[in-house]
């Protein structure tokens, strides 16, 4: 599994790549802050909602600090997803490295 730091992901998207941004945090966390264009499927709902995702599409998994997303990304790989990327540092690091205006919790 690949891992991107937030600045790497921002540059990757700026270069024209269009991965699915999958946020696996809880809804209350999502309401506080989120990356533009991300979709929310809380980690506990992921097994039941796999059909909502395209296994062939590049998918970046996001959480608060990068730990839940790492485990969710590993799960996606075992479920047959071929191109999964973990956002190392999560939305907290995104606020530090890319968008300081992003609310924090």
Per the CB < 8 A criterion, the answer to whether 70 and 86 are in contact is yes
Residues sharing a CB contact under 8 Å with residue 93, sequence separation 6 or more, in sequence order? 5, 6, 65, 66, 87
Per the CB < 8 A criterion, the answer to whether 101 and 62 are in contact is no
**Which residue in the list 24, 35, 61, 63 is annotated as catalytic?**
63
Q: Is residue 33 annotated as a catalytic residue, yes or no? A: no
Catalytic residues: 63
């Amino acid at each position: 599994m690949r891992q991107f730091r937030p600045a790497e992901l921002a540059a990757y998207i700026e270069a024209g790549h269009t991965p699915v941004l999958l946020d696996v945090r809880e809804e209350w966390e999502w309401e506080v802050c989120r990356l533009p264009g991300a979709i929310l499927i809380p980690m506990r709902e992921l097994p039941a909602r796999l059909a909502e995702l395209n296994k062939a599409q590049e998918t970046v998994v996001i959480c608060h600090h990068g730990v839940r997303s790492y485990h969710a990304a590993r799960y996606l790989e075992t479920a047959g997803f071929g191109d999964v990327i973990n956002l190392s540092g999560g939305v907290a690091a995104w606020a530090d490295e890319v968008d300081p205006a992003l609310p924090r919790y």
